[in-house]
Structure 1
Amino acid sequence: MQHLEEQIAHLTKTVDEMSAVIARQERELAVLTRRVQMLMEREAHREQDGGGGAVFGNERPPHY
């Protein structure tokens, strides 16, 4: 019986630790999602203003 109680205590501790990790990761994911959204909006504004200078794939830059 004591062995089972020890296992339950260990599993409970593990679940609590995993819960804390998941909560931290959820906060980090929310921050990263906001940052990506801000970057996407910034790039969209840059493209609207005609200031986009990135070359993708086989595209030639405008000065060629």
Structure 2
Amino acid sequence: MSTLEPLQQRLEALEIKAAYADDLLEELNLTIYKQQQQIDRLLHLVKDLQQRMPETGGVAPGARDELPPHY
């Protein structure tokens, strides 16, 4: 066994770890990108719903003042 073999094995192990880390980083970046797209779509939907809602906060005008049928 030469003195370079342990060094070569350590180098190969580091290269393998670096390759796995690069793959994981790419996968995480893609996940974050997809989540941001979903967040943007949801924010757009919320804004659209807020614009459609009356100023009463989503309750029909007069509905707060009406007594339930059992009274």
Q: Same fold (TM over 0.5)?
A: yes
Distance of 2:64 and 2:22 partners within structure 1: 59
Unaligned runs of at least 5 residues, structure 1: 55-59
Consecutive aligned runs of 4 or more in structure 1 exceeding 3 Å deviation: none
Aligned residues: 55
Identity %: 22
What root-mean-square deviation, in Å, do the aligned CA atoms of Structure 1 and Structure 2 show?
2.4
Distance of 1:21 and 1:4 partners within structure 2: 25
TM-score by length of 1: 0.73
> Which protein shows a greater Rg?
2
Unaligned runs of at least 5 residues, structure 2: 1-10
Give the structure 1 partner of residue 48 of structure 2. 38
Q: How does 1:3-22 map to 2 (within 5 A)?
A: 3-22=13-32
How far residue 62 of structure 1 moved from its aligned partner, in angstroms, is 1.8
Quick one: higher RCO (CA 8 Å, sep 6+), 1 or 2?
1
Query: What one-letter code is carried by the residue in structure 2 that aligns with 1:7?
Result: K
Distance of 2:14 and 2:36 partners within structure 1: 32
TM-score by length of 2: 0.66
